[in-house]
Chains A and B, each alone.
Chain A
């Protein structure tokens, strides 16, 4: 399944909003907007100086998603993976982001912005591994469309 074409200002505009969120959170609250870290802190699966702030951020994220879906753009969310792959994928994302101390937001948006060598290495690694995985599944094995 392929996603329909999208005018370029949507990804750019959405990216600017995400970056604005990360930038304001840094300048006002002094913290990194890493969603994997925030989620594990909010759920009590990791320690941090504050549990309240990540919890409120995630609550805001859910509300912001609902508001934007209602007023800005209605996304079609296409999940094509079979049930076992959803479980395996979820486990790998949860475990991997904790072991690697970050995900697309923490390493990608915040880490690259401050030129952290760890985040550069992590982002390069997960991008390449994700690309290889998609290649193998779509073109080598042809598991999903």
Chain B
């Protein structure tokens, strides 16, 4: 119950952050990625700004046995850098550079109802489903 409320509240903050920062605008993202063109550095401020509270939270977490409203921390612990990680990140990077949308802003931009966004998100879900079919099946669930 409480954790559900926290989820909604954090989602609200995240969505507002995407709008205020203009990360929701693919043209802004592409201008940031276009280092050789008229470079727009503003998205470095988004990541830098985001890392301030989130780093603080991860520091505070070290002193906590459990989260405030959940029974345990459920944070990734893997440390091995493998080919799968790098290949996935590289493919994601190409897709991000092609359109200027990553998953968060893509979901947020659904609120515009624009066909380009709907098509992109449908293809993105298709990509996730493809991964599920190709790699994740034997794991069940």
Q: Do the two shown chains form a genuine complex with each other?
A: yes
The reply to whether B7 and A89 contact each other, CB–CB distance below 8 Å, is no
Could you say which of B76, B79, B104 contacts A35, with CB atoms under 8 Å apart?
A: B104
> Across the two chains, which residue of chain B brings its CB closest to A107?
B89
Interface of B is mostly: helix
Q: How far does the Cβ of B86 sit from chain A's closest Cβ, in whole Å?
A: 5
Chain A residues with CB under 8 Å of chain B are: 1-3, 6, 8, 10-33, 35-36, 39-40, 43, 45-47, 49, 52-54, 56-69, 72-73, 75-81, 83, 85-101, 103-105, 107-114, 116-118, 121-123, 125-135, 137-139
Query: Which residues of chain A come closer than 8 Å to B96, judged between CB atoms?
Result: 89, 93, 104, 126, 129-130, 133
Taking a contact as CB atoms under 8 Å apart, the answer to whether B21 and A13 are in contact is yes
**Cα A43 to Cα B90 with chains together (Å):** 24
**A20: shortest Cβ distance to chain B, in Å?**
5
Structural contact, B119 and A100, CB atoms closer than 8 A: no
Closest CB-CB distance, B33 to chain A, in whole Å? 4
Pairwise interchain contact A89-B98, C-beta atoms closer than 8 A: yes
B19/A63 in contact, CB under 8 A: no
Report the bound CA distance from A142 to B125 in whole Å. Answer: 28
In the assembled complex, which residues on chain A have CB atoms less than 8 Å from the CB atom of B42?
6, 8, 10-11
- Neighbouring B residues of A17 by C-beta, 8 Å: 13-14, 16-17, 20-21
User: B87 — which chain A residues lie within 8 A by C-beta?
Assistant: 96, 99-100
B93 and A125 within 8 A (CB): yes
Knowing A75-B22, A89-B101, the reply to whether A67 touches B128 (Cβ < 8 A) is no
